[in-house]
Structure formats: structure tokens, C-alpha cells
Structure 1
Amino acid sequence: MPDDHGPSIKDDATYERLREKGYDAAKAAAIANAQANEDMTPSRKGGKAPPYEDWTKDDLYARAQDLGITGRSDMTKDQLIAALRD
């Protein structure tokens, strides 16, 4: 059974697992408390940006340029998408 870390930690078991994985106390507490809160979904992935397939080739090129992907000027749209995902 997990230790009781006081009222500031809402999910002691999650907190302990995160600490064992090397998370610092503040980060582990924030994640454990967010997971214990029904209004939050910290483990759900995904953002508000559309998938790369919906981007224009120029937008993909600009993103590849921002990330420093080499060879981008010779890439097709599909190749840019693959490079961005790698």
C-alpha cells in the first residue's frame, strides 16, 4: 500500500510510481493530482493542430525548416510528412 503523502497529493500510488521513475517531487505531484481530478485528462494525447496530411507542402516545408531537417527542398509532400514524423 502506498505511503500517505498528505493532503497535497491526491493520488499517492501514482505519485510513488512517478518518483520511482525519476520524476522530481513537484512534477510527480502535479501529474498525480491531475490524474486524480475528474475534470482533467493528462494522459490523453493530441493537440489542436490538423494532421500533416491536411497541411500544404509549403507549410510542411516551413515546419521542416524550423526543425532543421536536411534535404527538405528535394522532398515530396509525403516525404516531408515522413521526415516530420521521424
Structure 2
Amino acid sequence: MARFEMLEAGFGTMGTTAQADILFELGVMYATGRDCDTDVIAAHKWFNIAAIKGSLRAAEWRSELSSAMSKGEIAQALREAREWMTTH
């Protein structure tokens, strides 16, 4: 647990571009099922956060993913992104 906390503490000191790239990669991971189960809600959440941090690719992927999601799924992804942003 301490290791995770140290990583989280250091996350805020990275440059915005580096943060956006890492968050975009999380979105890709969930969108494609790379090393995890495919989860469109988690993918949308991470693409949304990366887009907020300035990733244009994330905004494009989020838009494309949204076209295949229900309104309920999108709403849940937006809620989760908002919750993550308020705690980090």
C-alpha cells in the first residue's frame, strides 16, 4: 500500500502532457482489453480524463467509443471521471 501511495503522490508532479499520455494509455488498455477485460465505461472515463489534461487523441477515441455506448453507460463513465478528478 505504501508503494501505491508514493506513486500516487508523485503522479501530481508529472507534466500535464505525460499525465495525459498515461491516462490515454489506460483508456486504450480498457478499450482493447489489453492485459484486462474490455470495459467501455472505464475506457471512456480514462479517455475523458486524458482529454481534460489535453490529449487530442483521447478526445477522438472518446468520441468514437461514445457512438457505441448507451446513454446510461456514458453517464456512468462521466460520473466516474468526475469522481476521480475530485479525489486526485
- State the TM-score, normalizing by the size of structure 2: 0.31
Higher helix share: 2
Q: Which has the higher contact order (CA 8 A, sep 6+)?
A: 2
- State the TM-score, normalizing by the size of structure 1: 0.31
Radius of gyration: which is bigger? 1
